[in-house]
Structure 1
Amino acid sequence: MNPITEDDIANYLANTPDFFERHAQLLAEVQLTSPHGQRAVSLQERQAEMLREKIKALEHRIMDMVRHGTENVVTADRLQRWTLSLLTWRDPRGLPWEIIKGLHQQFMVPQTAIKLWDLDAAYAGEGYNQGVSEDVKALATSLTTPYIGLNAGFEATAWLNEPQQAQSLALIPLRTAIDAPAFGLLVLASPDPQRYNAEMGTDFLERIAQLASAALSRLRP
């Protein structure tokens, strides 16, 4: 005859729910090892400890949800203020500078830069329409979503006031449609290597790109 195993006992108890009704005194006699030391505790006390741990874990999850919700509201408010500034800006010539100024102020981006090309001839002499190589234009067009990650020596960092301080970057292509070639590139940079990392989502940056591109369409021929 095969010896009774722990699995046999576990299966028997699972399939015999009235066992502890017939032997209620066993519940008070069962002793378990507490996870908070080597002392023995009753089954009821161990169950209470497990319940307290579950409650504590739920409290932490709720706190995280509240924190993320608050952060999302703050971000949405900042995005709305930045969008309003673009809608009410009257001087198309100064709009690119207003875009990066707003990103710097509203979202606390340490460094920002922008370059545009294929603009109306009226803006040919503007700084944001000069000094863009064909390689940068090709890179911007090749980006189907913003690049976020470490600065790997991208040429576009030379547009920043302090390129040597740019440890992580977000490179945001500007285009009139999803399948259209890029007509500009936004650069967001930080001295913090983790500010822009490859694990971040790009949804928010894509929204920035869409809003900026729509506003800058006034400078296009």
Structure 2
Amino acid sequence: MSRKVQTSLLPETPTAEQVADYLREHPEFFVDHPAVLEELRIPHACGPAISLVERQLHLLRERNGALSHRLDEMIDTARENDLIFEKTRRLVLGVLQSASLEELARVLDRHLCFELRADRCELLIIDDEDAWIAAGVRRVERNEAMSIIGSLVDSRWAVCGELSDEEKYYLFIHDCHRIGSVALVPLMVSNVTVGVLAMGSYDRQLFHSSLGTLFLDYVGEVLTLTLPRLLDAVPPVAVNAE
């Protein structure tokens, strides 16, 4: 008796006719289970089976559409990378060809404000004294600079986002109240911050905190290698004898 009960509890494999009857009673089955169609072998013949073939073709078209969309995204990314490379090439050549700090400032303003759509571009040289100001370049005293923007420029990586009023005034002075977002590129030599490239935008969303900084970090490396040569060419400050 026990053996018969156990046998009766085993699931029975449905017959082909039972499967056919079930599908007739549930015509929406393949709509709810489209993955099953990918495993079926259906002949290209006339009759009701053609609807299943069409369903499989529809799935293939959807997959092809998704792949085509992904390919378009990859092509757009490649084009964007080409543009970034060309912008970087022009900027680097301009920096390397600069013969003075003033010319360097013009190169940075021309390329960064135009290419990155920044509204302000300032180059600050951090030194032991506030001895002089070149056109487009400010030389600032180290202790004061570190007390105001030290937390922003104490690493080799660029930072983007919104700053406090004090920080914006220190970096840009003129029209600082209009600056909505800022990108800062520290210039470091032997782990010591020797300067900072500051770009400001009136748009609060342009230099948002999640913006990628690979391009800016590279610009910072090129500037760090170029600045010593240009600083050496600066004439000493004249001291009036009393």
Using the size of structure 1 for normalisation, the TM-score is 0.72
Range with bigger deviation, 86-95 or 129-138: 129-138
Contact 1:113-1:188 within 8 A present in 2 as well: yes
Indicate how the Cα distance of structure 1 residues 198 and 106 shifts in structure 2: closer, same or farther if over 3 A, else same.
closer
Q: Give unpaired runs (5+ residues) of structure 1.
A: 10-18, 36-40
User: Which of 58, 73, 95 is matched with 1:86 structurally?
Assistant: 95
- Whichever of the two has the greater Rg, that structure is 2
User: Which of 85, 92, 109 is matched with 2:118 structurally?
Assistant: 109
Q: Which amino acid aligns with 2:100?
A: D
Query: Hey, what's the Cα distance between the residues in 1 that align with 2:52 and 2:176?
Result: 63
Is 1:129–2:139 an aligned residue pair? yes
User: Which of 171, 185, 193 is matched with 1:172 structurally?
Assistant: 185
Deviating 4+ runs (over 4 angstroms): 28-31
Using the size of structure 2 for normalisation, the TM-score is 0.66
Indicate how the Cα distance of structure 1 residues 141 and 199 shifts in structure 2: closer, same or farther if over 3 A, else same.
closer
Deviation (angstroms), 1:79:
1.0
In the other structure, the counterpart of 2:44 is none
Query: Hey, what's the Cα distance between the residues in 2 that align with 1:136 and 1:214?
Result: 25
Query: Hey, what's the Cα distance between the residues in 1 that align with 2:181 and 2:83?
Result: 23
Q: Which secondary structure state, in structure 2, belongs to the residue aligned with residue 129 of structure 1?
A: strand
User: Which of 31, 34, 47 is matched with 1:33 structurally?
Assistant: 31
Query: Hey, what's the Cα distance between the residues in 2 that align with 1:189 and 1:155?
Result: 14
Deviation per CA, 1:59-80, whole angstroms, max 9, x where unpaired?
Answer: 1111111111111111111111
Indicate how the Cα distance of structure 1 residues 130 and 152 shifts in structure 2: closer, same or farther if over 3 A, else same.
closer
Q: Which amino acid aligns with 2:75?
A: V
Q: Which amino acid aligns with 2:116?
A: F
In the other structure, the counterpart of 2:160 is 148
Q: Which amino acid aligns with 1:100?
A: D
Query: Hey, what's the Cα distance between the residues in 2 that align with 1:141 and 1:115?
Result: 12
Q: Which amino acid aligns with 2:208?
A: N
Deviation (angstroms), 1:206:
0.7
| Aligned pairs, number | 197
Indicate how the Cα distance of structure 1 residues 139 and 145 shifts in structure 2: closer, same or farther if over 3 A, else same.
same
Contact 2:182-2:200 within 8 A present in 1 as well: yes
Contact 2:152-2:159 within 8 A present in 1 as well: no
Contact 2:120-2:200 within 8 A present in 1 as well: yes
Larger RCO: Structure 1 or Structure 2 (Cα < 8 Å, ≥ 6 residues apart)?
A: 1
In the other structure, the counterpart of 1:13 is none
In the other structure, the counterpart of 2:236 is none
Query: Hey, what's the Cα distance between the residues in 1 that align with 2:87 and 2:53?
Result: 51
